Amino acid sequence: MTPDTPTASSTPVVEVSNLVKRFRRESGAVVNAIDDVSFEVAAGDFVVLLGPSGCGKTTLLRAIAGLETPDQGSIRISGRPVYSSADRVDVPPERRDISMIFQSYALWPHMTAFKNVAYPLQSRRGRKIAKDDIARRVRQALELVGVGELEKQYPGQMSGGQQQRIALARALVNNDELVLFDEPLSNVDAKVREQLRFELVSMQRKLGFSALFVTHDQTEAMELAHRIAVLDSGRIVQFGSPQEIYHRPATRYVAKFIGAINEVVGTVTTVDGGSVVVDSPYGKFVGATVGHRFSVGDRAAAMWRPERGRLTQDEPRTVNRWPGRVKAPLFVGSHTEYLVSVGASQTDVRLWSPRSDLVAAGSEAWVSVDADDVLVLPVDEPADPAAGSTSVPVAPVMVPAS
């Protein structure tokens, strides 16, 4: 295994095409857990499957591992078909040449680090591996992840970071190119989790294995991933780099799921190339269409991140500006979060500033945001929870940070 960054030229390590998996509930209702999903993981790529509970990410990971049999579609691992509904191929998990790391790493507590890492080699089907070879490969894997000196320790005698390294060594000892992670950090407290993420990123970038990682935690996804697949109701609604997902969300669902964002729904009054004007309850917005098509009269959501807003006592020249009153500055250390009620509608918007002394609570001030920083997204998109509903109020909504 060599350190690597994703390359477009080599054969993808995972190719999922038009995959479908349905479950029948006890009530008889059918759930489309995976609904026509296609995506690829390139060699050396770290891909995160991200979405809320029930969106289908675990089912997708388990289908790739061979622990769940899909209904339709195909899966290839390093070019080899491991599942194809058309060709009736379904390779069992142990022959797919992939490793999986489960919640809390699932290390055997009664086994030393050495024995934990040796376990996949000893329990392999087919030709037995000589004892000496096993010992050599285990030590090599432990050295690779930098915990060679811990071979005689038990998991209970190790830190979280060391346990993660042992789990990684156990996953890598087979020389499998692909490691699947099923929320391995979900039972770890926040501070340690941050450190383990940092460790995992540096190990993956150093060793170059390909990773497919399931999480519902957007911060985790942003920190770990080369690319993120955002899932909603069994579908991938956006597949892109963390930067693309954050700055150019394809839908309102993605925009709201990743980070905090201000949103106001209004009516398109002008369309000019990639720029539109939206008339909203607290004034006009000029924003960017980010690839969507709009016509005059369409309902649209103008969305902007709190860190992109500015708060000033003097009226700015920025095209998007509204007078308001500061309600509650909240100092959170790295920045201050201002809640400001703006416009005739007295809508609450949030904006974040590194400065805590901009405007005092109760004072009047101007909120402004550049047109480039306002995303205008369709309201009636199919993947949107509000789609088709006539009861959604044409009113501003503030989406909290999670």
Chain positions contacting ligand ATP, by CB under 6 A: 23, 25, 31, 33, 51, 53-59, 216
- Tell me how far, at minimum, the Cβ of 105 lies from ligand ATP, in Å: 17
- Separation CA 199–CA 251 (nearest Å): 32
* Residue placing its CB nearer to ligand ATP in the complex, 33 or 203: 33
* Residue placing its CB nearer to ligand ATP in the complex, 59 or 238: 59
Q: Would you list the DSSP string of 92-141? A: -GGGS-EEEE-GGGG--TTS-HHHHHHHHHHT-SSSPPPHHHHHHHHHHH
- Tell me how far, at minimum, the Cβ of 200 lies from ligand ATP, in Å: 19
- Tell me how far, at minimum, the Cβ of 52 lies from ligand ATP, in Å: 7
* Residue placing its CB nearer to ligand ATP in the complex, 21 or 165: 21
- Tell me how far, at minimum, the Cβ of 185 lies from ligand ATP, in Å: 13
- Tell me how far, at minimum, the Cβ of 64 lies from ligand ATP, in Å: 12
Q: What are phi and psi of 110, to 5 degrees?
A: -90, 5
- Tell me how far, at minimum, the Cβ of 186 lies from ligand ATP, in Å: 9
User: Taking a C-beta distance cutoff of 8 angstroms, is the pair 285, 329 a contact?
Assistant: no
* Residue placing its CB nearer to ligand ATP in the complex, 229 or 376: 229
Distant-in-sequence, close-in-space partners of 140: CB < 8 Å, separation ≥ 6: none
**Spatial CA neighbour of 13 closest among 96, 72, 93, 102:** 96
- Tell me how far, at minimum, the Cβ of 2 lies from ligand ATP, in Å: 32
**Spatial CA neighbour of 349 closest among 392, 301, 395, 309:** 309
- Separation CA 134–CA 113 (nearest Å): 14
Strand 299-304 relative to strand 310-312, pairing: unpaired
- Tell me how far, at minimum, the Cβ of 214 lies from ligand ATP, in Å: 7
- Tell me how far, at minimum, the Cβ of 57 lies from ligand ATP, in Å: 4
Measure Cα distances from 303 to 184, 289, 321, 372 in Å.
33, 11, 14, 11
Helix, strand and coil in the chain, % to nearest 5: 25, 35, 40
CA atoms within 13 A on the CB side of 316: 18
What SS3 state is found at 8? coil
* Residue placing its CB nearer to ligand ATP in the complex, 48 or 375: 48
* Residue placing its CB nearer to ligand ATP in the complex, 53 or 123: 53
* Residue placing its CB nearer to ligand ATP in the complex, 58 or 78: 58
Q: Kindly tell me the sign of the dihedral angle through the C-alpha atoms of 131, 134, 136, 142.
A: negative
* Residue placing its CB nearer to ligand ATP in the complex, 83 or 114: 83
Q: Would you list the DSSP string of 48-75? A: EEE-STTSSHHHHHHHHHTSS--SEEEE
- Separation CA 287–CA 320 (nearest Å): 9
Q: Which residue number places its CB atom closest to ligand ATP?
A: 58
- Tell me how far, at minimum, the Cβ of 100 lies from ligand ATP, in Å: 14
The distance from CA 182 to its chain's CA centroid, rounded to whole angstroms, is 13
* Residue placing its CB nearer to ligand ATP in the complex, 218 or 320: 218
* Residue placing its CB nearer to ligand ATP in the complex, 31 or 129: 31
User: What order of strands is seen across the sheet that includes strand 30-41?
Assistant: 30-41, 14-24, 72-77, 80-84, 89-90
Which residues are paired to 330 by β-bridges?
337
